[in-house]
Structure 1
Amino acid sequence: MPISILKVLWSNKNLLNQFTKRDVVGRYKGSYLGLLWTFITPLLMLVIYTFVFSEVFKARWGTVGGNKAEYALVLFTGLIVFNIFSEVITRAPSLLVGNSNLVTKVVFPLEIMPVAILCASIFHALINFALLIVSLILILGVLQWTLFLAPLVLLPLILLTLGLGWILASLGVYLRDLGQVIGIAMQAIMLMSPIFYPISSIPENLRIIYYINPVSYVIEDMRRVVIWGEMPNWTWLGIGTVIGLVVFMAGYSWFQKTKKGFADVL
């Protein structure tokens, strides 16, 4: 099945590219600053989150000491990873409903739409990642050699995100309230992921919540390879990739089986 999925994506690569560009450019269409908001938005959110958690709640990351600038880098890394997941999952339920004109076109490959959102999300993540690398050089004065492992660390999350994206895009056609539920769920997942604080600060009896959250592992591994120059958790990387592949294939299979009824509902 993975090979057949890749064939579909490759045969529609030009269309996928057009939809990805439309999503990236269309987000800031009509604004004076345009794509500059891609840089400004994460920086503003970074400043807000850093102020709230380091000044108001006095949060610290023991591994990097009490330096607020270093804490900001740790926080920013977690947000980059989480935003890839969050953007796709949050938008997926309304994706087909918002493009009903395309659903009625029999020849249109609807399965590429969640992929386009993922590609746009990764594009924004790459810009944020470039900002992170510059900040690491300016603040810490070092660029870790393990940085090249970052794409490998993201692989389980990308597979999981796309699989869930197909499932939620399909369900969103039939369950119009799903988008509201997912929005609340994303807020909960964000707060229950080690973005603003390390897992070590969580009481032992509650850590199971973080261990069953696949996003937690990816966030932790990304910090290891990008900031601290450590190897990722290879055990999780293997398990996570398998889980991601299962969800990826299940999501695609579910989408293919249910898409026949999209036009009738919409």
Structure 2
Amino acid sequence: MPSVNVVNGKQIVIEELDPGRRLGRFIVKPFAQVWHHRDLVQAILRREVRDRFKGSVAGWVWAAIAPLLAIAVYSFAFTTNLQLNLAVDVGPRVGYALFIFSGIVVFNFFSEMAFRAPMLLHEYAHFIKQTIFPSDMLAVISTLRATLYTVISIVVMLAFQLAVVRSLPWTVLLLPLMFIPLMAFLVGMSWFLCAIGAFTRDAGYLMINVVPLFMFATPVFYPQSSLPPPFDFWIYANALTGYVEVMRDIVLLAKLPDWRVYVWTLFTSVFTFYFGYWFFDRYRNVIVDVI
């Protein structure tokens, strides 16, 4: 039932939504916000992408050079005496270079967002303080920007695989089923880190120190199956493990991912997305005063 408040002698009817409708509105709200501010998102995204290599001669060529150099170094390292001795079969040495690079692509996507998100609101503090600026869109814009460079890395990886193996598995068509949940996971993580970073810059320093170590807790250089029990199970507590495993299954191993792993990645994606948005939205009005 609606409630009635009296303000300055006037009755104001306030509609009280049932829990189901409130939940429905909360689920739809992040997407509605993105659609409502789509022109602003596009404008800022274009500016950030344009300014990334501003002043350089090669420009966007650098976006492709970095992954090409990484694959070249990995291929050299694992076709010489520098190769690692693994307890599991990961294919030929060049295949192991792709094995590592596929994990690096996912981890670099995560690390770019983890490094930038705590200071993101401080970067745009002037706009947030001086104008009616939708601060929640910054996490979306930043993720879309990082997505562009990640897609370039994936294209380079697929091109290298095609050049070496002479074919690509049909399962690469399933990449969006891995990539979209990963984007949602990173947007939610960014909302959470943005809010924390607004209150204390320690969040940024924490990410700088923790993220490099986190790489070794992610199966980037080794397969999850090489771990002894119970570590082969508990490593999935690291949400990135599922995304890395799904990426390798559909790109390198030409097989459908384990449905349990995929369901887990979907769960972590949806939970992180909405928890991050809830946390950011809860402190949205306070953020303007503390950044």
Is TM more than 0.5 here?
A: yes
CA contact (8 A) 1:81 1:219 kept: yes
Matches within 5 A, 1:127-142: 127-142=152-167
Indicate the residue corresponding to 1:228 in structure 2. Answer: 253
Distance 1:13 1:138 in 2: 38
Instruction: Measure how far apart 1:20 and its partner are.
Output: 1.9
Instruction: Measure how far apart 1:52 and its partner are.
Output: 5.5
CA contact (8 A) 1:59 1:197 kept: no
Counterpart of 1:217 (choices 242, 252, 261) is 242
Cα deviation digits, residues 118-165 of structure 1 (max 9, x gap): 111111111111111211211111111111111112333222211110
Equivalent AA in structure 2 for residue 210 of structure 1 = I
Matches within 5 A, 1:1-266: 1-49=26-74, 55-56=81-82, 58-60=84-86, 62-65=88-91, 67-266=92-291
Equivalent AA in structure 2 for residue 207 of structure 1 = D
Distance 1:61 1:50 in 2: 20
Distance 2:262 2:130 in 1: 39
Gaps (5+ residues) in structure 1?
Answer: none
Instruction: Measure how far apart 1:116 and its partner are.
Output: 0.8
SS at match of 2:272: helix
Percentage of pairs with the same residue: 29
CA contact (8 A) 2:242 2:264 kept: no
Q: 1:52 to 1:135 in 2, by over 3 A?
A: closer
Instruction: Measure how far apart 1:180 and its partner are.
Output: 1.2
CA contact (8 A) 1:163 1:251 kept: yes
Indicate the structure (1 or 2) with the bigger Cα radius of gyration.
2
CA contact (8 A) 1:60 1:71 kept: no
Instruction: Measure how far apart 1:80 and its partner are.
Output: 1.3
Distance 2:202 2:72 in 1: 33
Give the superposed CA RMSD: 2.0
Cα deviation digits, residues 19-55 of structure 1 (max 9, x gap): 2222222222112211111111222233445556775
Equivalent AA in structure 2 for residue 155 of structure 1 = I
Which structure carries more relative contact order (alpha carbon 8 Å, separation 6+)? 1
The aligned length equals 265
More helix by share: 1
Equivalent AA in structure 1 for residue 124 of structure 2 = N
Structure-2-length-normalised TM-score: 0.84
